[in-house]
Every structure is written in C-alpha cells, then in structure tokens.
Amino acid sequence: MPRTDMPHNGRPHSLDAWWMPFTANRQFKAAPRLLVRAEGMYYRDADDRPILDGAAGLWCCNAGHARPRIVQAIQQQAATLDFAPPFQMGSPLPFVLAERLATLAPGPLNHAFFTNSGSEAVDTAMKIVLGYHRLRGEGQRTRFIGREKAYHGVGFGGLSIGGLPNNRKGFGPLLAGSDFLRHTLDLSRNAFSPGLPRHGAELAEDLERLIALHDASTIAAVFVEPIAGSAGVILPAPGYLQRLREICDQHGILLVFDEVITGFGRVGNAFAAQRFGVTPDLLTMAKGLTNGAVPMGAVLVSDAIHDAYMQGPPGAIELFHGYTYSGHPLACAAALAALDTYAAEGLFDRAIELGEYWQTRLHSLRGLPNVVDIRNFGLIGAVELAPRKGAPGSRGYEVFERCFRDGQLLVRCTGDVIALSPPLIIEREQIDRIVDVLGEMIRATG
C-alpha cells in the first residue's frame, strides 16, 4: 500500500514532532528551509529551486550528491545483507574497508575500530587511550588535554575535551580531569592571512605549561583538530602540529587527531596528517568516510596501541566496547564506494589543484562591510563578520539566510563566521558563484 503520510510536495504536514539538532526550532519552523533532493553540486528545495552546495552538506558530501557508484552499492548491499551482528560474528565488508583505510592512512595507523559518528569515534578513542595506558602499567594517565574552541562531538567524552562554551555549559561538570590548550585564532596578528597564518606556532608550548601543572605522568592524550572547523575554520601556524608531536613523544603522551572534517581530501591528501606531515597515534574520522550517505565513523589506531591489547588468553575479549552498528554492512558498502569514487576521480588532489584559485577568490571579499577576517586552506574557507552590538551571531545568521533565500546558496553559519567547504567536484565557475553570491549578501546585510 502507498504511504499516506509522506509529503507529496516536499512539505510535511507538520513540523512539530521533530526536535531538530543544533537548531533554533521555533525560528526555523516559522520559516523553514527544506531540502528535498540532491545531485552533484546542487540541492533542490521544496520549491524545486537549485541550491548550490557550498558546505558539502555538513562538511561530509565530499564527492557531491547522489553519486551513482555509492547509490548502487547501498541498494545492492541492502538486498544482499542488510545487517550482521558485529559481536562475536563478522561479515566481509568491515574487514575489507579496514584494510583500505589502513592503506590510505599515514605511518603505522593500521587498525580501524568502526563507530556510527564522529562523536562516537572520539569517545571510542578516549576509551582506547585509557585502556592502553592501563595495560602498560600506567593507569594513572587519565587526564586529557583538549583545546579552546575545539569541537569533538557531543558525547560526554567529546564535550569534556571540547572547548565551545555553548556546547558545554548546560550539561554539568562533564568528565573530571580535562584541561585545555589555547586556541590558535589570533586576528590581531593573522587577519586576512592567505593559507596558513604566519604567527602562532609558539602556542604549542602551552602543552609544556600544562605538563608542568599536572605532571606528564597523569596525562593520557592530547586531542586536536588539525583545522578546527565547527569553531569557524581555525588554522595552525606552520610548525604548530609538529611541535605538539615532539612534546607528546618526549613525555609519553599520545597524540590524537580529530579528522572528522579534514579527512578524505578536504585539505588535499587522504588526511590532514599527511598534508601537514605529522602522524598521530590515533585518528578519528566520519563524514566523508561514506560521503555522508550512511552514518559511520572510525578510529584508526597505531600498531603499538592495537598490539598492546592483543595479549592474554586468545579467548578473552580485548576491549569491552562497541556498538550494535559497528561496521554496518550498508555503511561499509557506502564507504568502499565512496573511496572508489574519490580514487577514480582524483578527488584527493582537488583541494591542491583548486586551492590557489579558491584562496584568491575568497580573499577578494576583503574590504566588504563588516568583514574582519578571511581564512582558507585546501577547499575550506571562512569569512568572519563583526558582531552586532548586543546581538552576537545575528549578522552571520542573516547572511546565511539571505544566501539560501535570495542567492540559492547553502553555506554554514557558526556565530558570525560564514564557513565554506564545497564538494571536491566543484569547478571554477561554481567557486565564482559562491564568492559572488556571498559578497552580494554581505553587502545587503547591515
């Protein structure tokens, strides 16, 4: 029988029942922005208008939308093996995907633990870190070091090491024992820097300060995003990540890269770790892993960490952790097809090939009213606007909404920062369109 509750015109009968995430629900439902179809570089809204995707959905659709190889893989897998239990059982695709990821990853990151999101990947990495130190007789290493303005998902672990105040303040004390490096955003010295900022490598020395405060023997790991996306595209100065690696090595602290946003070609190469030449001990991923088509995350783990767990009786469970949907067959099929698409179309090279043009066009917006900074690296960009007095975030939101309604362009809005991360299939004329529309909407916003 046909479904009678499905909207025929792209508009649901009611918007009330869904409590939307990270959304001003009453504001949205008074004037909804509904996307109903997508293909390539474009969404279609409920009025059938083409909406140019300047954000890869939510940093995740790196190969664009409705890619045939990925669609077909999901359809075929659903008809073949829709689900298989991952506890004490297995199915083929998670093993195949883990091997593919190990081949793509830098250095000794040869083992993958599958999750369903970036948030779960971060919490999983935290547990693996704690267990690793305990196995080595250093169970006192329980402290995590995050960074101000960092976003590591919304699990209690990720919130505890994340540095976005609005995400933290409503949920109590969170996990004890976390501390924070300073963020690397410095408009006074680095505003309008093309590419990586010149100043700020010395901020890595903050880690030495925290080590002196807490003692290295208590610190389990340092978590950083190579580029902080959700806080508004905050970039590291050359040498910053390298120095964090050196300090961690000196003191026996693990280094974890959160590459949920930067993975899968966003900055060039498979991962930012390779683009920046720094190999972490663990690496979290999600989003572009399946091109956003099916929820999935993963933690890549070094040989040394993995092998520390593979001791004791062969019949003993090594890690009491996992999810019903770890290595879900549909997610694995989507991920393998996404990796095939990236490889067949050379998409990991696009951020380097187009990076200079992207940078030039974005920085052409300098001098527009209320623009206080422009940041870029690879195919990531941000335009920061001066906040309105007494109404921070309102100017950024108005530009975001104008882009959608008047410019048929989807961008990200995080406070007064307009963030951009288009699909890697973008062409130069579409870069021009993004910049031209954004500039027009900034001019139109008081």
Residue 59 CA, distance from chain mean position? 6
Rounded to whole angstroms, the Cα distance separating 327 from 116 reads: 8
- Looking at residue 260, what is its pLDDT? 98
Q: What is the mean pLDDT for each group of 10 consecutive residues in the chain (446 residues)?
A: 60 94 96 97 97 98 98 98 97 98 96 98 98 97 98 97 94 93 97 98 98 98 97 97 98 98 97 98 98 98 98 95 98 98 98 98 98 98 97 97 98 97 98 98 95
Rounded to whole angstroms, the Cα distance separating 263 from 269 reads: 8
- Looking at residue 7, what is its pLDDT? 67
Which phi-psi region, left, alpha or beta, contains residue 143 (left: φ > 0; alpha: ψ -120 to 50)?
beta
- Looking at residue 252, what is its pLDDT? 98
Count CB neighbours of 174 within 10 A: 15
Which phi-psi region, left, alpha or beta, contains residue 301 (left: φ > 0; alpha: ψ -120 to 50)?
beta
Residue 16 CA, distance from chain mean position? 29
Token pair in block for residue 395: 């100017």
Helix or strand or coil: residue 224? strand
pLDDT tens sequence across 359-389: 999 999 999 999 999 999 999 999 999 999 9
Rounded to whole angstroms, the Cα distance separating 33 from 102 reads: 39
- Looking at residue 1, what is its pLDDT? 45
